[in-house]
Structure 1
Amino acid sequence: MQKPAVQGFLFDLHGVIADSWQYHLASWRQIARELKVSWTPQLAETLPGMSRRDSLRTILSSDNRQSEFTAQQFQAIATHENELYRQMITKMTPANRLPGVTKFLKELVAAGYPMALASASTNAPAEIVRLGLTGFFSKIVAADQLQHSKPAPDVYLAAAKLVGLPPKNCVAFEDTVTGMQSAKAAGCYTVGINQQELPGADAMLANTTELSLATVLRALGQPVG
């Protein structure tokens, strides 16, 4: 049975396009300190890829504190984290692009492939501006309009719609387990970028320096050239 042809590319932001998880984790560590919740390696490993609300639920649940806050208090804490994060990303510049990403994006544009940003972050448009990548990502999923965050497929279904393609014809790049689950649930080809195997990935790259159109197509069993 012939595989669906690759016709478009969908990108997570944090850990795939930019080294920006440091800012998210720093803001969540601050929240944990303020709430007097112990910050653990498991939290640092689990939060990447989650929405803000899911991240806060996970932090509170780690200390059995989820029932202590009203909906209004919960929202206030989530808003505070976003404010902390927005302060931190003022430091973000094109230097935060991960190695090899710019070259790969230029290669996709030259080959005529449409692409979209599939990030769960509502700050993604501002980050793309600070990274100097607006020329590549005119199509960015509106995370605040999604009904469900990763690992649900919503963000990748929305991204595929932005490029006008069925998910089965799109390649999704992810660096987290949660993100990989989202892309797989949407029906995309999946490429994991992580030194650890991401369950369900159709192909794995250790880091972004390995990105090239030929490498990705070969790894997915697609014709090259």
Structure 2
Amino acid sequence: MDACVFDLDGVLVDSEPVWEEVRRAYVADHGGTWQPDTQTKLMGMSTGEWAAYLHEIGVEQEPGDIARGVIDEMAARYRDGVPLMPKAVETVRRLAATATLGLASSSPRRLIDVVLDAAGLTECFAATVSTEEVERGKPAPDGYLEAARRLGVDPRGCVAVEDSSNGLRSAYAAGMHVIAVPHPRYPPAPDALALAWRVLPGLDALTPELIG
């Protein structure tokens, strides 16, 4: 493979529980009603998309204000410590020694930079993309296609490492070989998991030999 492109939330950082807690509280505090499928829908959305969705379920503020409020709270949580996934740092550094790495995340640029800096992983990635920087969030392929473009490689020659349903669909739509590392609390839907080239129990199973 020419490159390996990681997702961030749920793959390298255990942020989905934090995102859910922060956005649930924000919805409750600003007049909205959290729906049974809200968390599933939000996973993979770009900042503009999820802010618009929270407005649709009753949050009284405009989407731009919603986004700023939620991201400010997420940044405050991360200042108290970034909840990295098991073996995330070791895996990225191991692969970076022999492979070109990229990142395609639904997180805003501000939070991507905070996480990678806190983990000491910034220099491991040749290119990083936030879906704020492309037209559509996941499950559209835009973020993964942009990551491949910035890396200067054909997406069909890339491996993507994902955990969520929308992330798996996004990487598959981009033409990449998708490795699924399902999150234990937020497992992907069976139809999305079926798109995976490989399904791994954890990041420690992601080896240079597997993606070579």
* TM-score for the superposition, normalised by structure 1: 0.80
Contact 1:104/1:213 (8 A) holds in 2: no
Distance 1:172 1:25, change over 3 A: same
Partner of 1:169: 157
Give the distance between the partners of 1:178 and 1:78, measured in 2 at CA: 20
Q: Deviations over 1:175-207 (max 9, x none)?
A: 111111111111111011115442411211132
Partner of 2:2: 7
CA drift at 1:78: 1.9
Partner of 1:33: 28
List gaps (5 residues or longer) in structure 2: none
Give the distance between the partners of 1:9 and 1:171, measured in 2 at CA: 5
Name the amino acid aligned to 2:137. S
Distance 1:164 1:107, change over 3 A: same
1:83 aligns with 2:72: yes
Q: 2:106 aligns with which of 111, 116, 120?
A: 120
CA drift at 1:116: 0.9
Contact 2:92/2:121 (8 A) holds in 1: no
List gaps (5 residues or longer) in structure 1: 1-5, 218-223
Contact 1:100/1:210 (8 A) holds in 2: no
Name the amino acid aligned to 2:198. A
CA drift at 1:77: 1.7
Larger radius of gyration: 1
Name the amino acid aligned to 2:178. T
Contact 2:104/2:144 (8 A) holds in 1: yes
CA drift at 1:40: 4.6
Partner of 1:3: none
CA drift at 1:161: 1.5
